[in-house]
Structure 1
Amino acid sequence: MEQRHLGRSGLRVSRLGLGTMTWGRDTDAETAEALLIAFTEAGGTLVDTADVYVEGESERVLGRLLAGIVPRDQVVVATKAVARRDDGPFGGGASRGALLAALEGSLRRLDLDHVDLWQLHAWDATVPLEETLSAVDAAVTGGKVRYAGVSNYAGWQLGTAAALPGHTPIVSTQVEYSLLERGIEREVAPAAEHHGIGLLPWAPLGRGVLTGKYRNGTPADSRGASTHYAGYVEQHRTDRAARIVQAVATAADGLGTSPLSVALAWVRDRPGVVAPIVGARDATQLAGSLAAETLTLPPAIRAALDDVSAIDFGYPERPLV
C-alpha cells in the first residue's frame, strides 16, 4: 500500500486508515484481530481509535492486539481526546487537566507508553486555546505523544490552532468527507492546505450509503439497522444522496468494480487527502476497501462524480468579481 506523509511532518502513514469505532461492541475481539492482521498484511499502518469509542473498549481491544498479535512498530496508533467520558471534573473537554487525564487513560487502555498521533476530537469554546495546546505540548515533551492533530474543527478554528506561535505543530485534521459530504471544501480544506495540514477523512463511504447497500431498503445486518448507528446513517439517506449513489453505481458498472471502490478512490485522491479512515464490520467489508488500492478513476468519471455531488460556493469562499 502506498505511504504518504502526514501534512508537512515526517510521519508516513498508509493511504488508507483502519477505523475502530465499533470494536468491542458490533465488532468483537476475534473479528477485530482478523481485521488488523488483514490490514497490516496489505501494507496498512494507520489505525484510528478514540477514548470514547465504546466507552474505551475500542482502545482496550486494540491494545491487546498490539501486545500479542501485530507488532507495535508496524502500526501508527492514533487516538483522540476531548469528548465527554464521565461527569467528573476531568471527564471531558479541552482543559489541560482533562486532556492529560484522558491521555493517561488512553495509554493505560492501549497498554502503550506513547501514541503516535493524538487528536483533539472537537473544539472546546469554553477553554482558552493556549491552555489546550499547552497540554499537547506537555504530552509531546513528556514523550507520551509523537504528533498532534485535531478533528471536526471548522476552518477558522483549524487556522487559529495552526497559526498560534510557540506550540506543537498540528499535522492533521480528521473530518467527515465523501461524495455525500463535501462541506470541508469551502474553508477547512483551504485552511489545511495553507498550513500544510493533512486531511484524514472519516466516513469516506458516506456512512455506508455510498456502497449502495441502502438503495432498496435497510439490510438487517447493516449499521442502518443498528440501535447505536441508525441515526448516524439516516442523515445521508436523502434524495440528493440517492442521485449520487446512482452515479457511483453507474461508474462502478462501467469500470467493472464496486461502488465502494469508486467512492473510496474518489475521496482518497482528492487534493490534500492523506488517508481516508474506513470502518469494517468484518473481513469481507475490509477486503472491499483494500480492493480500491489498485483503482485510479479516469478523469471523465471523476469529473462526472464531481459534478453530481457539487456543493454551492459563494462569498466569501469565492470573492466578488
Structure 2
Amino acid sequence: MQQRAVGSTGLRVSRLGLGTMTWGRDTDEHEARDQLIAYAEAGGTLLDTAAGYGDGASEKLIGTLVGDVVARDEVVLATKAGISRRTGERVTDTSRGHLLSSLDASLRRLGVDHVDLWQVHVWTDETPVEETLGALDFAVSSGRASYVGISNYAGWQTAQAATWQRAVPGRTPLASTQVEYSLLNRAVEQEVLAAAAALGLGVLPWSPLGRGVLTGKYRGGTPSDSRGASPHFAGFVGTYLDERGRGIVEAVARAAEGLGWTPLEVALVWVRDRPGVTAPIVGARTAAQLSAALAVEELVLPSEIVHALDDVSGE
C-alpha cells in the first residue's frame, strides 16, 4: 500500500488507516485478529483507536494483538483522549490533568511505552486551548508520544491551535487533524482543509463511507446485522438516511455500475484522493468488509466521475 507523509512531518503512514471504534464491543478478538492480519498483509500501517472507544476495550484488545499478529515497529499506533463514557453519558474533558492521566492509561492498555500519534479527541470551551496543547507538548517531551494532533476541530479552532504550537520555539507542531469527511459530509472543505494545508497538518478522515451509508447497504432498508440496526449506532447512521443522502447514494451507485466497481470503492477512492487527505480511517465489523476496502489500492476515479460526484454532493 502506498505510504504518505502526515502533513509536513517525517511521519509516514499507509494511505488507508484501520479504525477500531467497535473493537472489544461489536468486533470480538477473533474478527479483530483477522482484520489486523489482512490489513498488515495489504501493507497497512496506521492503526487508529481512542481511550473512549468501548471505555478502553478497543485499546486493550489492540494491546493483545500488537507484538503477536504484527510487530510493534510495523504499525503506527494512534490514539486519542478527551472523550469518555464511564458515567454512561458522553463526557468531554481536555484539561491537562485528565489528558495526561488518560494517556498513561492508554499506554497501559496498549502495552507500550509510547504511541506514535496522540490526538486530542475534541475541542472544549471549558479548558483554555493553551492548557490542552501544553499536555501535547509534555507527552512528546516525556517520550509518551512521538507526534501529536487534534480531532473534530472547526476551521478557526484548527488554525488557532496549530498557530499557537508554531508561535514559540520548543512547542511541538501539530501533525494532523482527524475529521469526518465523505461525499455525505463535505463541511470540512469550507475552512478546515484550508487551515490544515496552510499550517502543515495531514488530514485523517473518519467515516469516509458516510457511516456505512455510501456502501449502498441501506438502499432497500436497514439490514438486521448492520450498524444502522445497532442500538449504539442507529442514530449515528440515521443522520444520512434522508432525501439528500439517498440522492448521493444513488449517484455513487450509478457511477459504480458504469465503472464495474462497487459503491464502496467509488466512495472510498473519492475521499482518499481529495487534496490534503493523508489517509481515510476505515472501520469494519468483519474481515470480509475490510478486505473490500483494501481492494481499492490500485483504483483511480476518472476525472469526469469525480466532477459529477462533486456536483451532486455539493451543499
TM-score range, shorter chain: over 0.9
Give the RMSD, CA atoms, in angstroms: 1.0
Counterpart contact for 1:37–1:70, Cα < 8 Å: yes
1:55–1:19 distance in 2 versus 1, CA, 3 Å: same
TM-score (norm: length of structure 2): 0.96
Counterpart contact for 2:159–2:199, Cα < 8 Å: yes
Q: Residue deviations 1:100-159, cap 9 Å, x none?
A: 100000000001000000000001211111111111111100111000010000000000
TM-score (norm: length of structure 1): 0.94
Q: Distance in 1 between matches of 2:5 and 2:135?
A: 25
Q: Distance in 2 between matches of 1:256 and 1:245?
A: 16
Unaligned runs of 5+ in 1: 312-321
Question: In the alignment, is residue 275 of structure 1 matched against residue 275 of structure 2?
Answer: no
Counterpart contact for 1:92–1:102, Cα < 8 Å: no
Counterpart contact for 1:116–1:146, Cα < 8 Å: yes
Counterpart in 2 of 1:26? 26
Paired residue secondary structure (2:296): helix
Counterpart in 2 of 1:84? 84
Partner letter of residue 81 of structure 1? Answer: A
How far apart are 1:67 and its partner, in Å?
3.1
Q: Distance in 2 between matches of 1:92 and 1:24?
A: 22
Counterpart contact for 1:86–1:92, Cα < 8 Å: no
Paired residue secondary structure (2:175): strand
Paired residue secondary structure (1:192): helix
Alignment of 1:1-321 (within 5 A): 1-86=1-86, 93-164=93-164, 165-166=167-168, 167-311=171-315
Counterpart contact for 2:55–2:84, Cα < 8 Å: no
Counterpart contact for 2:51–2:84, Cα < 8 Å: no
Q: Residue deviations 1:154-176, cap 9 Å, x none?
A: 00000000001232111110000
Residue-pair matches, total? 308
Q: Distance in 2 between matches of 1:197 and 1:227?
A: 35
Partner letter of residue 187 of structure 2? Answer: G
Counterpart contact for 1:151–1:173, Cα < 8 Å: yes
Unaligned runs of 5+ in 2: none
Partner letter of residue 231 of structure 1? Answer: G
How far apart are 1:196 and its partner, in Å?
1.1
Which runs of structure 1 show a deviation greater than 4 angstroms over 4 or more consecutive aligned residues? none
Counterpart in 2 of 1:314? none
Partner letter of residue 293 of structure 1? Answer: E
Counterpart contact for 1:92–1:99, Cα < 8 Å: no
Partner letter of residue 24 of structure 1? Answer: G
Counterpart contact for 1:51–1:59, Cα < 8 Å: yes
1:139–1:85 distance in 2 versus 1, CA, 3 Å: farther
Q: Distance in 2 between matches of 1:92 and 1:183?
A: 23
Q: Distance in 2 between matches of 1:294 and 1:239?
A: 32
Q: Distance in 2 between matches of 1:274 and 1:132?
A: 24
How far apart are 1:30 and its partner, in Å?
0.7
Partner letter of residue 265 of structure 2? Answer: S
Q: Residue deviations 1:61-120, cap 9 Å, x none?
A: 001101322111110000000113546xxx851111111100000000001000000000
Partner letter of residue 251 of structure 1? Answer: A
